[in-house]
Structure 1
Amino acid sequence: MVSSDERRPAGRPATAVSTVLVLTLALQCAVPPFATDTYTPAIPRVTAGLDTSASLVGLTLTAFFIGMALGQLFGGPLSDQRGRRLPMIAGGLLCTLGAIGCALAPSIGLLIMFRVLQGFGGGVAAVVARAVVVDVARGDTLARVMSIMMALGGLAPMIAPVVGGAVLTVGGSWRTVFWVLAGFGLAMMITAIVVVGESLPPDRRHGGGLARFADGLLQVIRIRSFVGYALTGSLSGFTMMAYIANSSYVLQQQKGLQPMPFALFFAATALSQVLLSVVNARIVGRFRPRRLIGVGLSVSAAAVAGLAIGVFALGTPLVLTCIGFLLLMGVQAFVFGNASALAASQARQVAGSASAVTGVAQAVAMSVSAPLASSGGSVTAVPMIWVMIAGISAAIFCYLVVSRPAATTRAG
């Protein structure tokens, strides 16, 4: 791993961007897939074990993401005021306590409450981890580290369901899953204590009360280039989520793909994103991050066009549909990491607030996309296509128009 001493301004902490540090920060950001995908196989057992309804158990997923969003909104600006290290450690602790509460919850109401706490702690840890990356890396190094973290994060959705299934098979009870997640939270906290030093010295902090807290968020959203890059990444995610939410309907129920071939294809699309994230990290020094975003958006647009032709004119042919899905998923590797890095570089002075806004924007975009894209169910893929067209069109607009002033910066 490279050193962040490259182009370090006066007063910047001389922190090495080591492999161990990147792995630790990636661990903090892996909360959502592990806390949701590991738990998902246990949902039927939760319903039976707590003698409740499927809709109420579904709220435990919603509760986690609400807590995650609140944790990011709170933790990012707080870390700008008080430093990074203690909020990250506190986030891991709260995530652990929330998981323990879930494991012991005697009712669905308490389970939902502790899921909010678990998500809140995970949100704090994740948002501060992204801010630490901005503190210790810049320019091409920042884009490279973001891509590596994205590659590591892409492994989590592939591993988590397997872990969840194995835990249920061995442990039997759904509560065992939450004990495992408590161990995951404990690992977050311990690695943060051991590995992560304070990356924001006191002279670079923005002290103050609630008014200054809110001012950090307002300051971020007034930076046009930041908003442009943050929206580019979020809207590209909006497009990708349409595939994630509706692919099972299209490939299994409409095209007759069996569960195992579908699972293998879904894993292959995730793996393509992981591999291309590694490629992006290797070439980002030779090609500017902004140019790589343009490549990713262009290929995404071509994939969406191919999928639209398949759905509207050709009866959704299986091979064309799978190629479109694979391209759409894979090339996000050139969009997410680079867009996040360029957005962060526009708001270094309030990196925590910037990380919070970026994280919440991505969560909102994906949560809106999923129900819209899957509204056609097994009957039609047309809603999915319109969501993709709207998402990629808006992402390209934000890239070309809203973020354009940042094109003159060193990182762009």
Structure 2
Amino acid sequence: MSSAPPSVQAPQTEVSRSDALGPALLLVLGLLAAVAPFGIDLYLPAFPATASELGTSATGVQLTLTGFLVGIMIGQLVFGPLSDRYGRRIPLLIGTIVLIASSAAAVFAPNLGVLVAARVLQGVSGAAGMVLGRAIISDLATGAVAARAMSLMMIVSGIAPVIAPLVGGVLADPLGWRGVLAVLLVIALGTLVAVIWGVRETLPADRRAQLAEARRAQGSPARRLISRQYLGHTIAFAAAFTVMMAYISASPFLYQSMLGANELQYGLLFGLNALALVVTSAVSARLVARVGPRALAAIGLSGVAVGSLVMLGAALLGTSPWVLAAAVFVVVGSLGFVMGNVTALALSAVPGAAGTASALLGALQFGFAAAVSPFVSIAGERSALPLAVIMAAAAAVALIAFASGRERPTPS
């Protein structure tokens, strides 16, 4: 759709499409997307201390993580549709303020019940940055430009799941579990400053009026949410993310129990895979204008499938654990070509409801991951077969869904 007429001067707080998606905005969006990974992984090393102080079991403390994941799913479904109706900036500011309040409540929680409730609210409010970051990019760009922006944003947000457990492990002993959760409070305060400074409204009132008029004339664009193009790419994204979360969940026993790595070596191996993800995301951002997002995503998904099949074969044959480690490196590195490009392809299918589309994509993403992650170590800490089966199955689902999402040419 066309933008506002040239004679109408945009308000100071709005971002024109011509100067949008600069490095500063992408950095802020990447930081917003990193809040949830930090909330998931940062305080995992402090679980034993949390259980001891609050007088609960490991299962009880696990509820604080489950609550956070449930909150993320709910929050995306709340903030996405709200942002389509009221704009991106106000819901983002509200979400960030609630994130600060819930983070403070978690730090000073007197018992497990309050901590779980605070963590659920943290997840709900932290989801705002994830869902609205994708929607903001969709507001400002389409096609290869949007895919490049998504890939660049992932460079920032993709590092968070890797460094969070390492930082948490360093801080858990000197600061205790409350101190580690206080780090999340500081991050929340930093995101508020970043949003106030670096994010302007990308879906202003006149644009929302245009979309409302188009909905009255053509019907709701939300109908596109059940289109083959949107659902295919969304399911492909969620399945690819499931591969990543299965690896993250199983990485301690894969590297420490099977390979015999100590904590430092585990961190180095984990970091090597993260570096591969960052490098391929950067390469994807550089190549997407020439190659196209769909071709790059196809290359990445092929790499994920090949690596997962190698893992499955190695687990069945009982070959060296280092074969498994090499296959994981290929899988994680290949995901850098997938995540940003598939996201852009999914959101481009629903141009009039980017917030809602982003919300459903994110909810499905964490729903898939939460459903399979508990099963990666079901056969014990010295068997990689469940992990390999889950990764191979998720890779297959991603490939099938991606193929089904291809936009077919209109008959002449």
Q: TM-score, normalised by structure 2?
A: 0.90
Q: Is the CA contact 1:290–1:338 (under 8 Å) kept in the aligned structure 2?
A: yes
Deviates more, 1:14-23 or 1:245-254: 245-254
C-alpha deviation, 1:10, in angstroms: 3.0
Change (3 A) 1:380 1:167: closer
- Listed one character per residue, the Cα deviations across residues 62-86 of structure 1 (whole Å, up to 9, x for unaligned) are 1111111111000000000001100
For 1:51-90, list aligned pairs within 5 A: 51-90=55-94
Is the contact made by 1:88 and 1:129 (CA closer than 8 Å) also made in structure 2?
A: no
1:175-186 → structure 2 map (5 Å cutoff): 175-186=178-189
Moved more, 317-326 or 108-117: 317-326
Bigger shift: residues 133-142 or 173-182: 173-182
CA distance in 2, matches of 1:195, 1:260: 36
CA contact (8 A) 2:162 2:270 kept: no
Counterpart residue number, 1:191: 194
Aligned CA-pair RMSD: 2.2
Name structure 1 gaps, 5 residues minimum. 1-7
Is the CA contact 1:99–1:182 (under 8 Å) kept in the aligned structure 2? yes
- The yes-or-no answer on 1:271 pairing with 2:275 is yes
Matched residue, 1:351:
354
Is 1:326 equivalent to 2:329 in the alignment? yes
Q: 1:38 maps to which residue?
A: 42
Q: Which residue of 2 aligns with 1:3?
A: none
Matching residue of 1:19: 23
Q: Matched residue of 2:289: which SS?
A: coil
1:403 match: 405
The percent of aligned pairs where both chains have the same amino acid is 36
Q: 2:125 aligns with which of 111, 121, 126?
A: 121
Secondary structure of the structure 1 residue equivalent to 2:65: helix
The answer for the alignment partner of 2:101 in structure 1 is 97
SS in 1 for 2:20: coil
Is the contact between residue 221 and residue 352 of structure 2 (CA under 8 Å) also seen in structure 1? no
In structure 2, what is the Cα distance between the partners aligned to 1:321 and 1:17? 38
User: Structure 1 CA distance, aligned partners of 2:162 and 2:103?
Assistant: 21
Structure 1 Cα separation of the partners of residues 194 and 176 of structure 2: 28
How far has the Cα of 1:164 moved from its partner? 2.4
**CA-to-partner distance for each residue in 1:325-367, whole Å, 9 max, x for gaps?**
1001110011111000111111121000011011111101111
Tell me the distance in 1 between the aligned counterparts of 2:259 and 2:132: 43
| Match 1:236 to one of 228, 240, 251 | 240
Counterpart residue identity of residue 377, structure 1: G
In structure 1, the partner of 2:310 is 306
Aligned: 1:205 with 2:208: yes
The residue aligned with 1:223 is: 227
Q: Within 2, Cα distance between the matches of 1:163 and 1:379?
A: 26
Give the one of 135, 156, 161 matched to 2:160. Answer: 156
Q: 1:9 to 1:217 in 2, by over 3 A?
A: closer
What's the offset of the Cα at 1:253?
Answer: 2.1
8 Å CA contact 1:154–1:271 kept in 2: the answer is no
How many residue pairs get aligned? The number is 393
Q: Distance in 1 between matches of 2:42 and 2:242?
A: 23
State the 1:312 CA deviation: 1.7
Specify which of 368, 373, 378 is matched with residue 370 of structure 1.
Answer: 373
Instruction: State how far apart, in whole Å, the 2-side matches of 1:358 and 1:77 are.
Output: 12
